[in-house]
Amino acid sequence: MSLSRSGLSLLRGKHCPCINQLSVRNAHFTFYPETPDPSAGETTKVTMLQSITDAMDIALTKDPTACVFGEDVAFGGVFRCTVGLREKFGKERVFNTPLCEQGIAGFGIGMAVAGATAIAEIQFADYIFPAFDQLVNEGAKYRYRSGNLFDCGSLTVRATWGAVGHGALYHSQSPEAYFAHTPGLKIVIPRSPSKAKGLLLSCIRDKNPCIFFEPKILYRSAVEQVPVKDYELPLGKADIIMKGDDVTLIGWGTQIHVLREVAELAQQKLGVSCEVIDLVSIVPWDRETLFNSVIKTGRCIVSHEAPYTGGFGAELAAAIQENCFLNLEAPVQRVCGHDTPFPHIFEPFYLPDKWRVLEAIKKVTNF
């Protein structure tokens, strides 16, 4: 393990530079808070990290077998998502692990196979790769290889994900496409505090192993009214954030807020009406909602922070062109990160910001 790892730095009494200030000084988006449905009952104004803490609190309260574990989670974690849980539920249910992602994933698989509910934290998605073999060769295949006699469906792996504004190449990656290639895993990325709480509870209670990627830049910058009650949101169901007739814009996580801003910009500057869709879950993904939108608009842009080549946008573009070809007025466009390691000082040029998406809108409308 690298001695520069944030968990080890914290254990030595230092602060991790990429999370010391979770500011939005370099943010490439504006967060759009959402108004909860009146039927949701009592709400409270919280950040995304607080909504995630609340979801784990509810899960631990209602499921006596549930445990939360990972590097530094006992004192609250480097992002503070597990603050207060050890004090409330005890060291047997909320505990630190060694700096070993492969061990964290393997332990979680074993715990889930034994019948408990395992909520594992990988401190950064960038460091989930040592656990890749455990997740894709063991966790994802456990049910299939046993003929449904055994499974590790009560495993949820949480990991911080995406750009943070100053994370550079080891704290900014978006690895969802790697896992989307493997049948047996569900992959979810929330865009807001209210979505994070409901989707995380759905993952924890789902009967399949889930990977829950949390956009780290939204931990503190995303603030909205979130229902206090225990609730779940469906996996595999995309959300239409804004309705439109001319261009379909598809994204997930932080990028949804970029797309919402560019949709307003396109309407003002170009007179183009954009339909913005949050994919919500990468696997399973909502084909019906996407195809119906593209059939209506005839034009589609997919945007994500991960690199262009092999990003999940390529899968969406291929599926849309297979199923909506006769309705397309222009080729499906992808506005993504570049095929380079994630840069530090050049991050503003790497990220798919509103101006790059606006250029893509001009391209498809003028095709």
Q: CATH number for the domain including 260? A: 3.40.50.920
Q: What is the rounded distance in angstroms from the CA atom of residue 77 to the CA atom of residue 268?
A: 43
pLDDT of 325 above 50: yes
pLDDT in tens, 141-155: 999 999 999 999 999
pLDDT of residue 36: 86
Domain boundary among 197, 227, 257: 227
Task: Note whether 223 and 202 are same-domain residues.
Answer: yes
Beta-sheet pairing, 210-215 with 186-188? parallel
What digits encode the pLDDT tens for the residues 222-238?
999 999 999 999 999 99
pLDDT, averaged across the chain: 93
Task: Tell me how far apart the terminal alpha carbons of the chain are, to the nearest angstrom.
Answer: 50
Alpha-helical runs (H) found in 273-311: 287-297
Closest CA to 199 of 150, 164, 232: 232
Q: Is residue 1 part of a domain?
A: no
pLDDT per residue as tens digits for the range 303-317: 999 999 999 999 999
Q: Which of 176, 194, 227 is the last residue of a domain?
A: 227
Please say if the pLDDT value at position 159 is more than 70: yes
Q: What is the mean pLDDT of residues 30-56?
A: 93
To the query of whether residue 304 is one of the catalytic residues in this protein, the response is no
234 domain-assigned: no
Q: Are residues 77 and 185 in the same domain?
A: yes
For residue 141, being part of any structural domain is answered with: yes
Task: Please tell me whether residues 331 and 213 are part of one structural domain.
Answer: no
φ/ψ of residue 251, rounded to 5: -160, -170
Same domain, 214 and 336: no
Clarify whether residues 343 and 291 are in a common domain. Answer: yes
The residues pairing with 300 across neighbouring beta strands, listed in sequence order, are 248
Percentage of residues in the chain having pLDDT higher than 70: 93
Residue 348: which of 340, 333, 337, 339 has the closest Cα? Answer: 337
* Vertex 198 angle, CA 175 and 260, to 5°: 65
* Domain endpoint, select from 227, 258, 290: 227
Q: Write down the pLDDT at residue 40.
A: 86
Q: Residue 116: is its pLDDT beyond 60?
A: yes
Structural domain contains residue 299: yes
**Taking the model in full, what pTM does it have?**
0.92
Cα Dmax for the chain? 61
71 lies in some domain: yes
Provide the domain limits for residue 321.
239-365
Q: Is the pLDDT of residue 91 over 60?
A: yes
pLDDT at 165 over 90: no
- Indicate whether 232 belongs to any domain: no
Q: Clarify whether residues 72 and 138 are in a common domain.
A: yes
Is residue 101 part of the annotated active site? The answer reads yes
CA dist., res. 226 & res. 214, Å (int): 17
pLDDT higher at 263 or 3: 263
pLDDT of residue 27: 64
Please, are residues 73 and 63 in contact by the beta-carbon 8 Å criterion?
no
**Which one of the listed residues 28, 71, 101, 275 is annotated catalytic?**
101
Question: What does the pLDDT read at residue 23?
Answer: 39
For residue 21, pLDDT over 60 is answered with no
Among 28, 166, 171, 304, which one carries the catalytic annotation? 171
Provide DSSP, 164-228. Answer: -SS-GGGS----HHHHHTSTT-EEE--SSHHHHHHHHHHHHHSSS-EEEEEETTHHHH-EEEEES
Average pLDDT over residues 36-40: 86
CATH number of the structural domain spanning residue 175: 3.40.50.970
Residues 182 and 261 in one domain: no
Q: How many CB atoms lie within 10 A of CB 245?
A: 12
| Domain co-membership, 154 together with 36 | yes
Specify whether 105 is located in the same domain as 51.
yes
User: Crossing angle of helices 287-297/312-324, nearest 10°?
Assistant: 60
The predicted model gives 102-130 an average pLDDT of: 97
Cα 199 to Cα 138: distance, rounded to the nearest angstrom: 24
Assess if residue 25 is contained within a domain: yes
Same domain, 122 and 219: yes
Instruction: Kindly state whether residues 124 and 207 are assigned to the same domain.
Output: yes
| 176-214 confidence digits (pLDDT tens) | 999 999 999 999 999 999 999 999 999 999 999 999 999
pLDDT of residue 20 exceeding 70: no
Q: Classify the phi-psi angles of 48: left when phi > 0, otherwise alpha if psi is within -120 to 50, otherwise beta.
A: alpha
- Do 222 and 246 belong to one domain? no
Domains contained in the chain, number: 2
Phi, psi (degrees; rounded to nearest 5) at 313: -60, -30
